[in-house]
Structure 1
Amino acid sequence: MSAPLDTDQLQTFVAIVDTGSFTKAADRVFKTQSAVSMQMRRLEERVGKQLFVKDGRGNRLTAEGEKLLNYARRIIRLNNEAIAAFDDNRLEGTLRIGTPDDYADRYMPEIIGRFAKTHPNVELYIVCEPSVDLAEKMARGELDIALVTHNPRARQSDVVRTEPLCWVASANHPLRDDSPVPLAVGRRDCNWRQLACSALDADGRDYQVLFTSWSSTVVAAAVLAGMAVSVLPESALRPGMKVLSQQDGFPPLPPVQIGLMKRPGLSTSLMTAITDHITACLDNISPAVAPDDLDNDMRAFGRNATRLRSVPLMPGW
């Protein structure tokens, strides 16, 4: 029978990927760089595959390394969940989390579901507001953690996910060829709106904002009804939407990043617990939402919603 994988080696492996170097990973896992290198040699011997190759002064994952990474994260997460389930000193208290409503709709079901399993005595207090308002609440100490659209010009946050920003229209209604382009977007300080308008301006294409809303649900409704075009991250695509490309006359958009803001002074154990869950869950989000997957996510959210205390949803981007 084959020997099991060493979770300590897997944690070091993931740390190298997350930090981008053996040196930084050594600091994270409290080992010397030589010990980290030795662990990776042993892990490569264990799986019988090369996991890293030299890339200039650094290292990058091989195709086999990419394959192992997904398994490593899952094994570590399950190991942590198992330990937490038998921990008599499990975490307690209240954790105040802020997120825009579109992130709540797409990401929070899995985050909430996994966190509830491992930390059932922690009460989650969820606030849904635009990123700019969440940043202000963080500055006033009213939130512990906030998922926001990363915008270094406006606020500081740690990037936890990067993905394409897409032009979207209804898949069931023909897009009119006439100008200007009808847009459904967030309010004026919405980063995605600014990126969309800047791209159209640079391309010399006329547009008209027909729908403005803080609610991603309202914007999506305008798109699905065939009344407007909007922009969404790849993972936020909904059934009934289609992605528009340069062949359709729409300029390319820069990728968007999701950032994590943390309140200074938050309990280290609580901080580590929630950030680990958020990072792992965002890492597992698939590029697009199929109808069945969306239904499953919402059912998962419903199972855990009974233990949440939440303020009324204040939609926004």
Structure 2
Amino acid sequence: MAVLLDIDQLRTFIAIAETGSFTKAAEAVYKTQSAVSMQMKRLEERIGKAIFERDGRASKLTEDGERLLDYARRIVKLNMDAINAFSETELTGRVRLGVPDDYADRYLPEIMARFSQSNPRVEVTIVCEPTPMLVDRILASDLDLAIITHVEHKGPAEFIRHERLLWVTSNRHSVHEETPVPLALGRVNCNWRQAAIDRLETLGRAYRVLYSSWNSTAVGAAVLAGLAVSVLPESAIRPGMRVLGPSDGYPPLPSCKIGLLRNWRERTSLADALADLIIQSLDNLASQSEAAE
């Protein structure tokens, strides 16, 4: 007889994957840590594979655990969809979404328009802050969802979009030829900032951080004014900016990965509905996979 997977065990499993620890997951799903451990033991027995391995103090997924995570998310989502399909009550209430300001400029207009059209009685509260602050807000249950730059050490988010990270300068100035090269970047714990500095240091190229801000508009203003070079995802390139490459002395950068974090402590049908729409709006992974074949 086929073994059926338990929805509650899968939800707990997802919470562990999202938070990176059994302790945090226990808080998220309102269970004791021993209950969470027992659920995961039974889940491993059901599938006949180990799904976790220790990584210091964190709980890291095995290769089989990574495979199960994809199925678990789909199964839990389908379960919620089935429940919602037979509910005649129109969605109402409030959902809280966090998003960095540069993503807000590019993605929120479509997301808000589509969500408002299908859920006119729902209030959406938007919080614009950098990724590290949004991660903390999710863990504190101050948000229901957050669109973030994918940060593995903060716990795995749902990876929903992939873009090239590019060097940019003004197309009317030659500030990129200066030595040391002036930079406009995010704050010191910004992943993109660290990637840019690492690449320049590897080349032995002198630089100075002239402008530092979490605000993408401020960084973009420094670039457009011809005051500094910066790094931006491909979709954030604005008129008046020029992309720099190896021929200009600027090496390739790592890709920009965008993820979605959910608050597993207070998961609601509202949050799931908005999450589905965000994934539909931002997902470019399928088209990339098809193009690579």
Q: Structure 1 length as normaliser, TM-score?
A: 0.62
What does residue 207 of structure 1 align with? 207
> Residue type matched to 1:230 in 2?
S
Q: Using the TM superposition, give the Cα deviation of residue 175 of structure 1 relative to its aligned residue in structure 2, in angstroms.
A: 3.3
Q: Please give the alpha-carbon distance, in whole angstroms, between the structure 2 residues aligned to 1:140 and 1:256.
A: 26
Q: Please give the alpha-carbon distance, in whole angstroms, between the structure 1 residues aligned to 2:145 and 2:72.
A: 27
What does residue 198 of structure 1 align with? 198
What does residue 263 of structure 1 align with? 263
1:26 and 1:231, CA in 2 relative to 1: closer, same or farther beyond 3 A? closer
Deviations, residues 168-210 of structure 1 (Å, cap 9, x unaligned) = 0011223352311110001101111011111111121111100
Which structure 2 residue ranges, 5 or more long, are not aligned? 1-65, 286-293
The 5 Å alignment of 1:278-297 reads 278-283=278-283
What does residue 232 of structure 1 align with? 232
Check whether the contact 2:161–2:284 (CA below 8 A) recurs between aligned residues.
Answer: no
Q: Using the TM superposition, give the Cα deviation of residue 266 of structure 1 relative to its aligned residue in structure 2, in angstroms.
A: 3.3
Asked whether 1:124 is paired with 2:124, we answer yes
1:219 and 1:26, CA in 2 relative to 1: closer, same or farther beyond 3 A? closer
> Residue type matched to 2:177 in 1?
D
> Residue type matched to 2:144 in 1?
D
Q: Percent identity?
A: 49
What does residue 147 of structure 2 align with? 147
Check whether the contact 1:233–1:256 (CA below 8 A) recurs between aligned residues.
Answer: yes
Q: Please give the alpha-carbon distance, in whole angstroms, between the structure 2 residues aligned to 1:273 and 1:165.
A: 30
Secondary structure, aligned partner of 1:202: helix
Check whether the contact 2:144–2:266 (CA below 8 A) recurs between aligned residues.
Answer: yes
Q: Please give the alpha-carbon distance, in whole angstroms, between the structure 2 residues aligned to 1:226 and 1:93.
A: 46
1:27 and 1:145, CA in 2 relative to 1: closer, same or farther beyond 3 A? closer
1:164 and 1:284, CA in 2 relative to 1: closer, same or farther beyond 3 A? closer
Kindly report the root-mean-square deviation, in angstroms, between the aligned alpha carbons of the 2 structures.
2.6
Q: Please give the alpha-carbon distance, in whole angstroms, between the structure 2 residues aligned to 1:27 and 1:183.
A: 40
Secondary structure, aligned partner of 1:110: helix
> Residue type matched to 2:270 in 1?
L
Q: Using the TM superposition, give the Cα deviation of residue 29 of structure 1 relative to its aligned residue in structure 2, in angstroms.
A: 7.1
The 5 Å alignment of 1:2-151 reads 28=74, 88-151=88-151
Secondary structure, aligned partner of 2:228: coil
Q: Please give the alpha-carbon distance, in whole angstroms, between the structure 2 residues aligned to 1:226 and 1:88.
A: 56
1:27 and 1:280, CA in 2 relative to 1: closer, same or farther beyond 3 A? closer
What does residue 299 of structure 1 align with? none
Check whether the contact 2:185–2:230 (CA below 8 A) recurs between aligned residues.
Answer: yes
Q: Please give the alpha-carbon distance, in whole angstroms, between the structure 1 residues aligned to 2:75 and 2:95.
A: 26
Q: Using the TM superposition, give the Cα deviation of residue 155 of structure 1 relative to its aligned residue in structure 2, in angstroms.
A: 3.7
Q: Structure 2 length as normaliser, TM-score?
A: 0.67
> Residue type matched to 2:141 in 1?
G
1:179 and 1:113, CA in 2 relative to 1: closer, same or farther beyond 3 A? same
Check whether the contact 1:135–1:155 (CA below 8 A) recurs between aligned residues.
Answer: no
Q: Please give the alpha-carbon distance, in whole angstroms, between the structure 1 residues aligned to 2:218 and 2:251.
A: 24
Q: Using the TM superposition, give the Cα deviation of residue 156 of structure 1 relative to its aligned residue in structure 2, in angstroms.
A: 3.1
What does residue 71 of structure 1 align with? none
> Residue type matched to 2:149 in 1?
T
Asked whether 1:249 is paired with 2:249, we answer yes
> Residue type matched to 1:151 in 2?
V
> Residue type matched to 1:141 in 2?
S
What does residue 220 of structure 2 align with? 220
Secondary structure, aligned partner of 1:239: coil
Deviations, residues 10-58 of structure 1 (Å, cap 9, x unaligned) = xxxxxxxxxx99xx7799479xxxxxxxxxxxxxxxxxxxxxxxxxxxx
1:281 and 1:235, CA in 2 relative to 1: closer, same or farther beyond 3 A? same
Deviations, residues 38-95 of structure 1 (Å, cap 9, x unaligned) = xxxxxxxxxxxxxxxxxxxxxxxxxxxxxxxxxxxxxxxxxx9xx99xx852211100
Q: Please give the alpha-carbon distance, in whole angstroms, between the structure 2 residues aligned to 1:195 and 1:162.
A: 16
Displaced runs of 4+ in structure 1, greater than 4 A? Answer: 24-27
Q: Using the TM superposition, give the Cα deviation of residue 122 of structure 1 relative to its aligned residue in structure 2, in angstroms.
A: 1.0
Between Structure 1 and Structure 2, how many residues are aligned? 211
